[in-house]
A = this chain, B = another copy of it.
Amino acid sequence: MTIVRLTRQRQAVLAAVRRSQEHPDAAHVFEEVRRDLPSISLATVYRSLEALVREGQIAKIEGAGGPTRFDGRLDDHPHFICQHCGAVIDLDIELPDLKAMITLPGLRITSTQVQFSGVCGDCSQPNN
């Protein structure tokens, strides 16, 4: 088992993801972390994000159509993805136990993802 070191870079990446409400991608985390650690590299941000996902400290959101997004919230909640502006919105609803509905034997399920897509309220405005 590899020991994970708590470097300043990794702490800053974790803090940035937790602080953000926008489900940032690597580039956004990079910009944010750079304010405190101007010399951090994008590669380190990618490596830190990967490590944090592996440790279960943050969650990965794929399927938003662009770069991978990250989520500091660890509870199981669905997302809405706006196909127009790319926004990822947390949906605070209580989901039924979908995992329990699976009858196919042999699968070891470690995570469940529920995603809705469409157009968000802002993008539905006629002036957009």
Contact = CB atoms under 8 A, between A and B. Distances in A.
Given A63-B113, A114-B114, A104 B91 contact: yes
B110 A102 contact: no
B109 A124 contact: no
A68 B63 CA distance: 9
Interface in A81-128: 83, 89, 91, 93-96, 98-99, 101-121, 124
Given A91-B102, A98-B114, A113-B113, 20 more contacts: A63-B63, A80-B104, A80-B107, A80-B109, A89-B104, A93-B102, A95-B101, A96-B96, A98-B116, A99-B116, A102-B116, A105-B121, A106-B120, A106-B124, A107-B118, A108-B119, A108-B124, A110-B117, A111-B118, A112-B116
